[in-house]
């Protein structure tokens, strides 16, 4: 079955079997690297530049909100422990916040090719990139 990022998903049809076998045969990472003919056969459409920018802005906003919520949850727990006489173990909010951050970073991908934006010549995730390092599409 054809799989790709949110902007590249095709509607289910009979060509998905062929596309799946071609994908495994050519060992490509994602549908973005397929030929235009193969993408058309699978019903996969590429996003326009403005759609990519809008979609990536949503992902950046979601990541920012998850960072803020996770730090706020941990901070409120520590503040609550200092101000009141009751004690709340900060491990649980810390682990929940850590999970939220990882969830946000996992979904922080280029809408066009579904790869995480990586810094040039290094490992990790680039926050607020101007363009995708994999497909070169403008993200801001």
Contact (Cβ atoms closer than 8 angstroms) between residue 113 and residue 58 = no
Contact (Cβ atoms closer than 8 angstroms) between residue 117 and residue 132 = yes
Q: What is the pLDDT of residue 81?
A: 87
Pick from 114, 118, 92: nearest CA to 4: 114
Q: What is the pLDDT of residue 19?
A: 53
Q: What is the pLDDT of residue 35?
A: 63
Contact (Cβ atoms closer than 8 angstroms) between residue 22 and residue 129 = no
Q: What is the pLDDT of residue 30?
A: 56
122: left (phi over 0), alpha (psi -120 to 50) or beta: beta
For the chain (140 residues), the mean pLDDT of every run of 10, in chain order, is 44 49 49 61 71 90 92 89 85 89 88 80 80 82
Tell me the domain boundaries of the chain. Answer: 6-41, 47-140
Q: What is the pLDDT of residue 10?
A: 45
């Amino acid at each position: 079955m054809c799989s790709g990022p949110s902007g590249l998903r095709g509607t289910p049809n009979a060509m998905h079997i062929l596309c799946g076998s071609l994908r495994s045969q050519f060992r490509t990472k994602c549908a973005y690297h397929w030929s235009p003919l193969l993408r058309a056969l699978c019903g996969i459409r590429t996003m326009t530049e403005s759609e990519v920018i809008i979609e990536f802005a949503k992902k950046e906003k979601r990541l920012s909100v998850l960072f803020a919520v996770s730090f706020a949850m941990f901070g409120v727990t520590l503040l609550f422990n200092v101000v009141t006489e009751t004690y709340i173990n900060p491990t649980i909010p810390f682990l929940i916040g850590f999970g939220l951050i990882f969830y946000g970073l996992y979904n922080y991908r280029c809408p066009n090719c579904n790869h995480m934006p990586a810094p040039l010549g290094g490992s990790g995730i680039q926050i607020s990139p101007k363009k995708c390092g994999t497909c070169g599409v403008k993200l801001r």
